[in-house]
Structure 1
Amino acid sequence: MLFNTRGIVFQKVSYSESSIIVKIYTEEFGLRSFIVRGVKNKRSSFKQAYFQPLTLLDLVVSNKENKNIHNIKEVKVSYAYRAVFADPVKQSILFFLNEILLKTIKEETPDKSLFEWLFHALSWLDLTDKSVVNYHLVFLFQLSRFLGFYPKISGMKARYFDLQEGLFQTDRPEHPSYVSGDLIFPLTELRMATFENSSGLHIGNENRRKILHILVSYYQMHLPNIGRIKSLEVLENMMS
């Protein structure tokens, strides 16, 4: 049976001289692996450009629950990026987000709220004329909602961010995995920010770099299997 679904490409790997396997986060089924046969041939009706990381697609696919690899019958671009690949900063953000998503989203069950948020977040990054220097930080906070460890706030005057508990609190934690000092205010601002208002947050480059490392460490603490984020250094260099 064939199904219509939107999808977001997470990964493309070569399978043979003419074929590839792609991991796509689909709206209807969650994360799925698909084989695309003959895509490297010049006469193929499928273009390899369709399967670049974080491309937004409309798909007609087969989906058999007892199979690990499925087939794509039809594909077209659902939203074509206009500016991301012409802007080095946006491009480095996209590569960073791709690695984060590939390492954190493993569910083979649909989450339409997560899919809709991702689709909006990626298209917004492409379309906006506003500064995106804080975008990736807001993205990490918002993604943590769907992953189950969005930080909570205890008390009106939080002075510490407990990374283990995912809690902004007034009392110092009894372990070393916490943040305090002048980073608490921008962290709480970013926690509540939207993509639309994030450009108005006044965070210096050095504090922005520190916060990025804090959030990556926070993810690694709550999702130990994600390992080192290889694209982090490239993103930092572009932001400096």
Structure 2
Amino acid sequence: MLAATEGIILQSIKYGENSVIVNMYTREFGRQAYFVNITRGKKSKNKTGILQPLFLVSLVTYQKDSREVQRIKEIKNQPVYQNLPFDVTKSAQALFIAEILTKTLREQESAPELFLFIQNSLLFLDLAEKGVANFHLWFLFRLTEYLGFLPNTEKTGFEGWFDMRKGAVTPHEPPHPFFFHKEATEKLCELSSLKIQDLGLLKLSREMRAYLTSKLTEYYQLHFESLGEIRSLSVLHEIFTP
């Protein structure tokens, strides 16, 4: 059937000389793979430039449930980013988030609330001026709610450690290495209470930001055995480390 939907580009893989397989998270169909023909002329409707990680698109597809790779009739960037592709920090965060999403979003079914969360978060990042350096931390934390392992950051009057195995703050240092140290736990709790428009209020040193990024990635790896190494993490560390 012919269907119209919105999508978020996760990954593009070259297929032959003039085609790519695009992994995309769509509003109507969840995670899908699409076959896209790439023509080289100036009047090309489908150019590789619109298929960058986390670009937002609207598309018309020939959707068939029995087919593993769907075909696209029309595709265009919509909305078009104003800043994200041209800002080094935002682009690095986009690559990191795209890699996380590519390895965690597997369901081929509609999840409109999750789609809107990702879409609205990216539109905010595109135009944000304050707190940009903290965006990927906030996004990773909030995404866990949709994936089913939101950290419990409630405390009852004690200094604590965030135990990644338990997914909660505990009053005693865990007997294993999968935890946040005290200062990082405090920052995680602070992060958990922030709205996206208040990210500029979270004051972090470069070292703390790198630590939280690594630990939140490790938290994901504990819940997704297939996650493996996140290659784009090193790019973020280069940008955020003095």
State the TM-score, normalized to the length of structure 1: 0.94
Residue by residue, what CA displacement relative to the aligned partner does 1:8-55 show, whole Å, maximum 9, x if unpaired?
A: 011111111111111111000001111112x13325322222211111
Alignment of 1:148-163 (within 5 A): 148-156=148-156, 157=158, 159-163=160-164
Alignment of 1:1-240 (within 5 A): 1-37=1-37, 39-42=38-41, 44-156=44-156, 157=158, 159-240=160-241
Give the Cα–Cα distance (whole angstroms) in 2 for the partners of residues 120 and 154 of structure 1. 27
Root-mean-square deviation (Å): 1.5
Letter in 1 for 2:139: F
**CA contact under 8 A between 1:162 and 1:179: conserved in structure 2?**
yes
**CA contact under 8 A between 1:40 and 1:48: conserved in structure 2?**
no
Q: Secondary structure at the match of 2:165?
A: coil
Post-superposition offset of 1:68: 0.2
Question: Which structure 2 segments of 5+ residues have no match?
Answer: none
Greater CA drift, 146-155 or 133-142? 146-155
Q: Percent identity?
A: 34
Greater CA drift, 145-154 or 219-228? 145-154
Post-superposition offset of 1:91: 1.2
Q: Secondary structure at the match of 2:108?
A: coil
Give the Cα–Cα distance (whole angstroms) in 2 for the partners of residues 108 and 44 of structure 1. 29
State the TM-score, normalized to the length of structure 2: 0.94
Q: Secondary structure at the match of 2:70?
A: strand
Q: Secondary structure at the match of 1:203?
A: coil
Give the Cα–Cα distance (whole angstroms) in 1 for the partners of residues 175 and 128 of structure 2. 43
Count of matched residue pairs: 239
